[in-house]
Structure 1
Amino acid sequence: MTASETTGAFKNKRNQTLYYQRHFPKTEVALGLVVFLHGLGEYSARYKELLEFLRDAKWVVYAYDFVGHGQSEGEQMYFDRFENLVEDTGVFMEFARSDMNSTFQGSIADKCILIGNSLGGLSYSRSACVPQTLALSIQSVIVSILSATFPQWRIIPGGDRNNLTSDQTILDAMDDDPYLNKLPTSCRVAQELLDAFSSTSLRRQDVHVPVLVLLGSDEKMVSTASIRDYVDGIASQDKKLLVLDGFGHLMLLKPDRQQVFDAVVVWLDRH
């Protein structure tokens, strides 16, 4: 068998066309299915190197672009309800399983792993945890009023992008990337994300599956204390918080990202 990569599209329950990619490993016995979910304003192909690394580690890998992201249908970086992303991911999971079982030539272990980057983790497992700081609380009041009547207004600023990474090469590449969103966040999306963040801590007792949370020691976009508190509070007995020294929010894109990739595969191999 040879390794293969395929791209295509599937429909969500709202009849929107969403882009996806799949990667089949060069093996007759795959270790299982990995579904990767990207972050807000991003797209799946931005993490192609990680997807190919997982494929080469003998996993079948699927990833898709959220509605309004990358090559998927919809207004750029906009969705009416956060639950739309959760619903779309559920549809994609079913699609990936069916497509994999009908097209992969070898046998596949009965494992399904979700890897979510930032919003990607929040959208399905709600494993991201960001506190309502004063600035977010003020925005929440404003957005609560505006989102009902002017949902597509884009007035909510994003975080300082220098908090994403100190690597100027990555920042320059962001400027030149046509698929990366560069608009301010809309009122509706900001409110939906704030609500999702608020509900995360209330749902952590529902998490019983094995969980690995990767956190960079230089993380500046989210509260590291809240992430630690979240991991401590989830119900799963198989949980691990791995702090990577010298890494920030865009750890999957740093020049020394191989360390992150290796940590992911080591954990996968043990599960």
Structure 2
Amino acid sequence: MIGCLCIHGFTGGPYEVEPLANYLREKTDWLIETPTLPGHGETLQLKGITYDRWFRAAEEELQKLMEECETVYVIGFSMGGVIAAYLATKYRIDKLVLLSAAFYYVNPRQLLKDMRNMIRDGLRRKLKENPLFVRYKHKILFTPITAVLEFRKLVSQVRPRLPDVHIPVLIVHGKEDGIVPIKSAHYLYENVGSPLKKLCFLPSSHHHVCHGPDREQLFKEVEAFLKGNI
């Protein structure tokens, strides 16, 4: 049996990867798991949560999947991509998919563009209709600074381990991402140790690529990569 572990991002939840997970469920008979990391989900409770708990939770989910499946793929979104890369250095994973992986954080140029759009919508009294405002308002209010520092520690722990990733890797990034800059994707491509790696940019997507306008392209890219011979 084939298993696939999908890991969501910082301050997010399984909903971030659910469209891709559902697509793979429809197209395959694989066992697809989308766990919730400690402190995450629809209600954020990140105070007092340390980064090692996110590592441990992901490892436990992977170990359970490996007990049931001979072949295991891991897909990670944003911070989940950092955790997925970490897992690939410790366990015998078969393939790795990194979506908007957050090895760098905040794209200043795109963020300013997004903020201008929010201000414009605010002046038009349409701020509540702005999808980025809706998505990030709740996160900003309920994310303690200590959690942000733990996230940064997590990234600093994984960066030096990237040369130890030797399995096939698909790196996907939205060109309109205002949260994680495109240089993060290039950094990954240059530093992962695997000679079998592919870099894919989605022309119209922001950070949440599984929900973006290029999601059908994303789904097909991931399906082809996981089913292919690379």
Match of 2:124 in 1: none
Structure 1: give runs of 5+ residues left out of the alignment: 1-29, 102-107, 136-158
Select the residue among 145, 151, 165 that pairs with 1:187: 145
Supply the distance in 2 between the matched residues of 1:90 and 1:56 (Cα, whole angstroms). 26
Match of 1:120 in 2: 80
* Counterpart among 103, 111, 114 of residue 130 in structure 1: 103
Secondary structure (helix, strand or coil) at the match of 2:103 reads coil
Q: Rate the CA distance shift 1:130–1:46 in 2: closer, same or farther, 3 A.
A: closer
Cα RMSD (Å): 3.1
Q: Could you say if the C-alpha distance between residues 224 and 263 of structure 1 is closer, same or farther in structure 2, counting changes exceeding 3 Å?
A: same
Letter in 2 for 1:77: L
Aligned residue runs from structure 1 range 28-43, under 5 A: 32-43=2-13
CA shift at 1:184, angstroms? 4.6
Bigger Cα Rg? 1
Instruction: Quote the residue 1:94 is aligned against.
Output: 63
One-letter code aligned to 2:55:
V
Distance 1:169 1:40 in 2: 21
The number of residues matched between the two structures is 201
| Structure with greater helix percent | 2
Query: 5 Å matches for 1:69-88?
Result: 69-70=40-41, 76-88=45-57
CA distance in 2, matches of 1:82, 1:97: 23
Q: Secondary structure at the match of 2:212?
A: coil
The gaps in structure 2 that reach 5 residues or longer are 87-97, 119-128
Question: 8 Å contact 2:13–2:40 — kept in the other structure?
Answer: yes
Aligned to 1:185, what secondary structure does the other structure show? Answer: coil
TM-score by length of structure 1 reads 0.63
Contact residue 77 and residue 181 of structure 1 kept, 8 A? no
Q: 1:196 to 1:96 in 2, by over 3 A?
A: same
Relative to structure 1, the CA distance from residue 222 to residue 60 in structure 2 (aligned partners, 3 Å threshold; closer, same or farther) is same
Higher relative contact order (CA 8 A, sep 6+): 2
Question: Is 1:53–2:14 an aligned residue pair?
Answer: no
Q: Does 1:63 align with 2:34?
A: yes
CA distance 1:246–1:78, shift in 2 (3 Å)? same
In structure 2, what is the Cα distance between the partners aligned to 1:48 and 1:62?
A: 10
Taking structure 2 as the reference length, the TM-score comes to 0.74
Task: Compute the displacement of 1:182 (Å).
Answer: 4.7
Q: Contact (CA 8 Å) 1:130, 1:223: kept in 2 or not?
A: no
Identity %: 22
- Residue 11 of structure 2 aligns to a residue in which SS? coil
